[in-house]
């Protein structure tokens, strides 16, 4: 099999080699495997998980406001579980977790359904740094009654996993694996097997190259769409700025690597360098 390789300065294969599960685009690809998701959740939740539905990159539309594209949505019995990788501190704000839960509620309930039959919702944010700042490896948040500190059973739990703590525990080893670029350094076989497929197997690398080309194509199309709405030159620039931001925030690219990936001409690069370094 001949691999498709991008003709620009940055080879897609080099980009794939640098990917980690903390890069949410790659995590979504690996987590298309339901058994991987199940074992991953069982370590975090410390209980067995029986997956009924599993969706990677699940879009929830809100006709009255902001829509979202969530990384992974799982149905486990009466629970809906949302897994999110958040490298950006701002993206892991507690109100975002609340928003995710609200839209999941709105999209998984039915007319005339009894209120006590609404599914429980668990939101899991895996953060690159200790967003909450208490130095703990994991945080479980529930609603409580102020006056007596008893649980207020409204059916929502928010979990923050601090991936910066990689102790010799089941959870710490899992977080270590989230940062590995080399599958051979991973502790868990179920992750090592899937990651090595996309990084080392010819068929897996071919799939990744095609996905990378699609990501690049969508970024350029977004720029063209904004260009039509705002004027061709300004709109194209704004679209490329958004694509550069995504590559840096989600996939760990340097600015120079993002410029290479998007094939931005050398004579235009100083404009984007000024924007991102000023």
**Domain chopping of the chain, boundaries:** 19-200, 202-277
Rounded to 5 degrees, φ, ψ at 243 are -65, -40
Distance of alpha carbon 129 from alpha carbon 264, whole angstroms: 32
Give the number of other CB atoms < 10 A from CB of residue 25. 17
Q: What is residue 127's predicted lDDT score, i.e. its pLDDT?
A: 95
Q: Residues 178, 126: contact at Cβ < 8 Å?
A: yes
**Is the entire prediction scored with pTM above 0.85?**
no
Q: What per-residue confidence (pLDDT) applies to 253?
A: 72
Residue 1 to residue 179: CA distance in whole angstroms = 29
pLDDT in the model for residue 205: 83
Give the number of other Cβ atoms within 10 Å of residue 213's Cβ.
Answer: 14
Encode 76-91 in three state secondary structure: ECCEEEEEEEECCHHH
Burial of 144 (0-12, 13-18, 19+ CB in 10 A): exposed
Q: Is 43 exposed, middle or buried (0-12, 13-18, 19+ CB in 10 A)?
A: middle
pLDDT computed for residue 11 by the predictor: 57
Q: What is the pLDDT of residue 41?
A: 97
Please check whether residue 276 is in contact with residue 262, taking contact to mean a CB–CB distance below 8 angstroms. Answer: no
CA angle 207, 30, 124 (to 5 degrees): 150
- Give pLDDT, residue 268: 84
For residue 102, what is the DSSP state?
H
- Residues lower than pLDDT 70 in the chain: 1-12, 63, 215-216, 218-236, 249-252
Q: Where are the alpha helices (DSSP H) in the chain?
A: 12-18, 24-30, 34-45, 94-108, 170-178, 189-200, 202-230, 232-251, 255-261, 269-277
Tell me, what DSSP letter sits at residue 137? Answer: S
Contacts 24+ apart (CB under 8 A), 71-78: 71/24, 71/27, 71/28, 71/31, 72/27, 72/28, 72/31, 72/37, 73/104, 74/37, 74/41, 74/49, 75/51, 75/119, 76/41, 76/49, 76/50, 76/51, 76/52, 77/50, 77/52, 78/119, 78/120
| Cα angle for residues 34, 53, 142 (degrees, 5° grid) | 100
Q: 96: buried, middle or exposed (CB in 10 Å: 19+, 13-18, 0-12)?
A: middle
- Give the pLDDT of residue 84: 94
The SS3 call for residue 241 is helix
């Amino acid at each position: 099999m001949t691999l498709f390789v991008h003709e620009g300065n940055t080879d897609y294969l080099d980009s794939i080699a640098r990917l980690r599960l903390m890069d949410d685009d790659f995590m979504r690809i690996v987590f298309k495997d339901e058994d991987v998701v199940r074992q991953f959740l069982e370590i975090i939740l410390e209980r067995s998980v029986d997956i009924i539905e599993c969706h990677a990159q699940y879009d929830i539309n809100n006709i009255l406001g902001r829509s979202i594209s969530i990384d992974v949505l799982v149905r486990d019995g009466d629970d809906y579980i949302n897994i999110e990788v958040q490298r950006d501190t701002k993206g892991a704000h507690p109100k975002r977790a609340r928003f995710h839960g609200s839209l999941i509620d709105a999209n998984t309930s039915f007319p005339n359904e009894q209120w006590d039959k609404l599914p429980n919702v668990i939101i899991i944010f895996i953060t690159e740094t200790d967003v909450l700042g208490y130095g703990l490896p994991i945080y479980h948040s529930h609603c409580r009654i102020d006056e007596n500190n008893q649980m207020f059973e409204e059916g929502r739990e928010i979990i923050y996993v601090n991936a910066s703590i990689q102790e010799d525990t089941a959870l710490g080893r899992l977080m270590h694996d989230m940062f590995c670029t080399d599958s051979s350094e991973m502790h868990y076989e179920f992750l090592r097997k899937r990651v090595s497929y996309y990084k080392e197997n010819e068929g897996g690398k071919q799939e990744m190259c095609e996905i990378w080309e699609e990501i690049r194509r969508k970024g350029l199309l977004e720029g063209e769409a904004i260009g039509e709405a705002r004027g061709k030159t300004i709109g194209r620039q704004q679209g490329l700025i958004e694509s550069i931001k995504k590559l840096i925030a989600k996939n760990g690219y340097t600015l120079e690597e993002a410029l290479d990936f998007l094939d931005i001409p050398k004579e235009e690069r100083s404009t984007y360098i000024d924007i991102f370094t000023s």
